[in-house]
Amino acid sequence: QVQLVESGGGLVQAGGSLRLSCAASGRTASSRTMGWFRQAPGKEREFVAAVSWSGGSTDYGDSVKGRFTISRDSGKNTVHLQMNGLKPEDTAVYYCAARTEYYGGSYYFEPRTYDYWGQGTQVTVSS
């Protein structure tokens, strides 16, 4: 089992920045791919970003490309999401996810391919 704990959410004005972190514990060798997803009220869970085990491969959802950056620390147990240029439409609960499958496997942008999820952290962007 892998436990995921997110931190860093909060309230920010449009144009501002936030940095989310996700700490993994337990059988962290099972978190070969890690990702961030978000869900706004009344909407489906949306892919935000994913990172490979090494940290060398990353990808982003179209709505956040060029503004968000995902990174994985050298110990591989913590993943960060740096969010710049925040917009009101970025308001959502952000979830950290991990899966045993490698990055190059099945669709890392699909929530159903992830095995473990954090509790989520609220991000609110005011206009």
Taking only the tens place, the pLDDT of each residue in 96-125 is 999 988 888 779 999 999 999 999 999 999
The arithmetic mean of pLDDT across residues 45-66, rounded, is 95
**Token pair listed for 39:** 């869900």
Quick one: pLDDT band at residue 80, thresholds 50, 70, 90? very high
Taking only the tens place, the pLDDT of each residue in 11-52 is 999 999 999 999 999 887 778 899 999 999 999 999 999 999
Q: What local confidence, expressed as pLDDT, does residue 12 receive?
A: 98
For 88, list phi and psi in degrees, rounded to 5. -55, -35
